Amino acid sequence: MAHPSQLGFQDAASPVMEELLHFHDHALMIVFLISTLVLYIIVAMVSTKLTNKYILDSQEIEIIWTILPAIILILIALPSLRILYLMDEINDPHLTIKAVGHQWYWSYEYTDYEDLGFDSYMIPTQDLAPGQFRLLEADHRMVIPVESPIRILISADDVLHSWAVPSLGVKMDAVPGRLNQTAFIASRPGVFYGQCSEICGANHSFMPIVVEAVPLEHFENWSSLMLEDA
């Protein structure tokens, strides 16, 4: 999860997020090189009194500074489009979960099970146990198996919400009357935190998302206990 004075992204916990981090570094390097070149040209133009008629009026240079930006844009666009299509791929999910946004909590339904669903509310600050995070902990976590394709169906009951977990590379709007879907694979066990990312009213800041990725055996034990309690 994020920590104070962090400059970069959270550690990737899914293959898609790893691709997004690599693309970020790729694009940032291009921006850094462009900024360095522009800064050098500005400093050179300001600090010298010499002029060159071939620079001021040169068809070859005009061709270069027209073609070069086009090549740079292609180098950015192709990886971006590749990741965009990867994020839309949903191939044979092992588990489907429906997440519904309410004012101001989330409800989850495991549609592959007959009667497995629950509401997830934020734990108030005064009820937090030692080591828990303020505004991020929920009384019921969305538990998923590790290294399994998970499909999330996302909707809302009242107003616009957004289901977002940065370390998994997932962010999808929850729209009343509409069912959006996205997918991810948790590549390692852990607890991953997110929050509603669409302003949805007075308590928008108080509807966290907690995803707990566990080994398949632990997930089966958890689902059996939940079904018994239901």
pLDDT digits (tens, 9 = 90+) for 59-117: 888 888 899 999 999 999 999 999 999 988 888 899 999 999 999 999 999 999 988 99
For residues 160 and 175, what is the distance between their CA atoms, to the nearest angstrom? 5
For residues 62 and 47, what is the distance between their CA atoms, to the nearest angstrom? 23
Helix (H) or strand (E) holding 195: strand 190-196
Q: What is the pTM of this model?
A: 0.85
| Token pair 């030692």: residue | 130
CATH code of domain 13-86: 1.10.287.90
3 state SS of 58: coil
| pLDDT (tens digit per residue) in 164-187 | 999 999 999 999 999 999 999 999
- The domain ranges of the chain are 13-86, 93-227
Give the contacts of 125 (CB within 8 A, at least 6 positions apart): 134, 135
Of residues 228 and 23, more confidence is placed in 23
102-134 CB burial, b ≥16 within 10 A, e <16: bbbbbbbbbeeeeebebebbbbeeeeeeeeeee
For residues 215 and 146, what is the distance between their CA atoms, to the nearest angstrom? 5
| pLDDT (tens digit per residue) in 182-230 | 999 999 999 999 999 999 989 999 999 999 999 999 999 999 998 887 6
- Residue 145: beta bridge partners? 214
3 state SS of 4: coil
pLDDT, residue 30, reads 95
CB 107 within 8 A of CB 215: no
| Token pair 């959006």: residue | 180
13-86 and 93-227: identical CATH topology: no
- Alpha-carbon 83 to chain mean position: 13
Does the domain at 93-227 match CATH 1.20.1280.260? Answer given as no
| pLDDT (tens digit per residue) in 147-161 | 999 999 999 999 999
